[in-house]
Amino acid sequence: VTLVEPELAASVLERALAHGGDMAELYAEARRGFGVSLDDGRVERPQSGRETGACVRVVQGDSTYYGHVDGLAEEDLLRVAGSVSEGVRGEATRPVALSAVTRGTRHAVATPPEDVEAARKADLLRACDERARAAGAEVAQARIGYAESQRQVEVFGSDGRSAADERTRIRVSAQVVARRNGRVETGSDTRGGHAGWELLEDDPEHVAAEAARRALTMLDAVDAPTGRLPVVVGNGFGGVLLHEAVGHGLEADAVQKDASVYAGRLGEQLAPAFVTAYDDGSRANAWGSDGIDDEGTPTRRTTVIEDGRLTSYLYDLLRARKDGVESTGNGRRESFRHVPVPRMTNTFFAPGDATPNELIGSVQRGLYAVSFGGGQVEPATGNFVFGVSEGYLIEDGRVTAPVRGATLVGNGLEALRAIDGIAGDLDIATGYCGKGGQTVPAGVGQPHVLIRELTVGGTAA
Amino acid sequence: VNLEDAARRAVEAAQAAGASDSDAWAEESTSRRVRVYAGEVESLSDAGGRGVGVRAFAGSRSGYAYGTDLSDEGVAEIARAAREAAELADEDEHEGLPGELGTSEVNGLTSPGFADWSTERVVELALAVDRAARAPEGVTQVENSVYSDARGSVALANSRGFAASYTATQAWAYASAFAGEGADLMTGTGVGMGRDPGALDPDAIGGEAADRALALAGARQPESRRCPVVLDAFVAASFIGFIGSMLSADAVQRGRSLFAGREGEEVAHPVLRLADDGTDADGPASAPFDGEGSPTGRTGLIEDGRLLGFLYDSRTARRAGRATTGNASRGSYRTPPSVGTSNLIVDPGDLDLAGLVAQAGNGLYVTDVAGLHSGVNPVSGTFSVGASGRLIAGGELASPVREITIANDLVSMLKSVRFVGSEARWVPFGGSVKAPPLLVAEMAVSGS
């Protein structure tokens, strides 16, 4: 099914350029979503949504004029194009004839989630709940969430661009609370991807078991140490550190505004030679993958750090044009209510030669940070703060007591330089990334990584 | 589109689809946003949106659906989807429409002056914010100056005959400025808000961004210490916002709040008074009725050091054997109602900032915290968050500091609030909070 006929798209673009502009674009979208959760043993909050809408933007020089509208009615599209064009001051320009539709990387979906009976989704939640409760008598609560979404996207540009994509995502998440005497700890885990129901066919209840294990483990946690310590960061969700402390600083909008510590450092050796990192929006069925980005550029793998050298920033069309390079397919937007900005897709360190045990074994006294509760970074300085939701002491090369309340405070550049080893166990976890009021699915990942020294802010006096 | 009519049609369709009860929330809004960078308009947007969300009950089970198609057919389709979703839910005897339906009188939700502000005029305002932020010597860059406004109307109808609507306007502007360069770069944010652009002072907003950045220029990591801490209004508001979310009856009943079971207990120093007020004329979250048609109101939360109670919607109120406080909140038509804060308001005290700093003697003045939401355990209340600000020496602000962590637990912190500042202000980050600066007697500050 087509959302907008090419003839209408051409008229909208022509209307948008009525007062000039270097580029006009029409982005149309139809989204469907369904979600349901389980809390305290009860299936609740089943909800579904169905939206259509479009965004028209005109770019002139460094200025962007845009508008969006709910629905795809012809008169609404033409009206919003007209209103956007009013912001521009100049002579009308003509769009180039639209080319054939590009579709980019395909991500196979074997069983579309909407084809699966809703009752099975509720049953999945119940099975997860049972598994979490079976993990131990100290499991007090489990909250399980299921969400599926389908987005049909079409992009038309006055440069002749014409692209389309169909995106199916599915995700199950578990959050478990464990109690012992007065003590309360939480653990969580997720599984998700740009995929269909098949992703949940093999032991989906594992996420609940894992969340429960984390919560139970943390019941035995001791106060976190304070000071400068070596830190081994876990694989999978540990990649949040790379995402926050490095990735955001590589997004070309921050770079071009000189609001990134990575600005002007292309080609510089930022990390030891065994460190390589990618942003890969084409990775098969990964959570942050799409066929095209939200400007119609096919997604691809971009090497951002190669052998320790900074090799590329992450671009959308606007910032790429400014730097005289090609878009890296990172022009993403939350929905038709937003304009695209450079965003990560799936960002991860390439696997190295070490094993996790070797990395841990090399540490006399340090912290093993397995999972983060979240983090924040100031891209302009690279300074970051992360809360460690699952962490352990490392003593004499062995993982010992779990610790609670640890935070990692540091700087992205310093952390990169201080990488001492990378293991081979790459894993990618499902995150949601917020920037400028837009939230998009982003894959975060890495193998185990050893950082020689970071500031650990603990709870121990 | 007549919103009340759309909401009524949705309710009729839900009842026709077999719902035992239903409500529908319809919304229509227009918004503008101007982003300025380096003295030029970087982006300008003008947007419109509309949609409806339907909650359908099948006895004590509830389902939700939303969509953007407000045609008769579109609305009926959404209503059917909501009724169908309800089949999936487990029974919850406390589910249902609220018994208390009605509206409160709330003044000043819209400003008559709002319509006078053409897009050209608000672009001028955004440019003025940017100029003010860049003007002071020592500001190395202004990352963004943003103006944004919205005019939105909502209507709610339900199967018990309730139907009402209101319109509200809001305008905001903020700027973020940088001082210093490279590894020494520090940032500062300035913000202003009101019912129309005329309530915004571009010089004050830009100037605040510059001042906050410049105050941190040359910041260093201090030595660890335990000392009195003054939280500025932004930081106090962040903590209060977090505490407010813990006072939702939903968090309490689900065992996710450190305040569970502590009603009537001493949880703060008597100088600290906190209320939720959905009827404050200036409150960005004010409205005559909440997300399910109950009248909004003012709910005292902490007074005389004691926890007075929690915030309820009809479901959590039934479960607790209480009355709703009118705190069923809606993010938009895309989310079903759930308990949420409206405007959290901390009563101001007597001391201005200089007075608080003088009282602190030797300590720390915190102007920024990072990672609050990941750094606080919502159940135990223990937290450890990154911070920056200035040292306080001899009762005066002294050298800037950064890369510090402040740690405590929320109740201990509330109990050791010694003085509440007199300069309360609205802070729009992460909810709607009006808070003054606070002096906390002692916290663990870890640096080098």
pLDDT > 90: what percent of chain B?
Answer: 89
Mean pLDDT along residues A376-382: 80
pLDDT tens-place string over residues A397-419: 999 999 988 889 889 999 999 99
pLDDT value of position B379 = 76
Output B165-170 pairs: Cβ under 8 A, ≥24 positions apart: B165/B3, B165/B4, B166/B106, B166/B109, B166/B287, B166/B288, B166/B289, B167/B109, B167/B110, B168/B109, B168/B110, B168/B286, B168/B287, B169/B109, B169/B110, B169/B111, B169/B114, B169/B195, B169/B196, B170/B194, B170/B195, B170/B284
**Residue A261: which pLDDT band, with cuts at 50, 70 and 90?**
very high
pLDDT value of position B447 = 84
Quote the CA–CA distance of B282 and B259 in Å, as a whole number. Answer: 28
Q: Which chain B positions have a beta carbon within 8 Å of A383's beta carbon?
A: 402-403
pLDDT tens-place string over residues B18-58: 999 999 999 999 999 999 999 999 999 999 899 999 999 99
pLDDT value of position B94 = 96
DSSP A89-122: -S----PPPP-PPB--S----SS-GGGS-HHHHH
pLDDT value of position A89 = 85
Local structure of A152: helix, strand or coil: strand
Chain A contact present for B71, CB below 8 A: no
pLDDT value of position A185 = 87
Of all residues in chain A, the one with the smallest CA distance to B254 is A40
Mean pLDDT along residues B105-119: 93
Is pLDDT above 70 for A458?
no
pLDDT tens-place string over residues A262-319: 999 999 999 999 999 999 999 999 999 999 999 999 999 999 999 999 999 999 999 9
Neighbours of A2 (CB within 10 A): 12
**Which of A47, A67, A224 is the closest to B64 by Cβ?**
A47
pLDDT value of position B206 = 98
Q: Do B382 and A405 touch (CB under 8 A)?
A: yes
Is pLDDT above 70 for A459?
no
Of all residues in chain A, the one with the smallest CA distance to B443 is A461
Q: What residues of chain B, 239 to 298, have a C-beta less than 8 Å from chain A?
A: 254-256
Quote the CA–CA distance of B114 and B281 in Å, as a whole number. Answer: 16
Q: Do A69 and B143 touch (CB under 8 A)?
A: no
Chain B contact present for A75, CB below 8 A: no
ipTM attached to this prediction: 0.87
Quote the CA–CA distance of B54 and B155 in Å, as a whole number. Answer: 12
Quote the CA–CA distance of B386 and B405 in Å, as a whole number. Answer: 4
Chain B contact present for A461, CB below 8 A: yes
Total residue count of chain A as it appears in this document:
461
Q: Which chain A positions have a beta carbon within 8 Å of B37's beta carbon?
A: 62, 257
pLDDT tens-place string over residues B315-351: 999 999 999 999 999 989 999 999 999 999 999 999 9
Chain A contact present for B67, CB below 8 A: yes
Mean pLDDT along residues B129-147: 95
Q: Which chain B positions have a beta carbon within 8 Å of A378's beta carbon?
A: 187, 370
> Which of A51, A409, A413 best probes binding to B when mutated, by most B CB atoms within 10 angstroms?
A409
Mean pLDDT of chain B: 95
**Residue B71: which pLDDT band, with cuts at 50, 70 and 90?**
very high
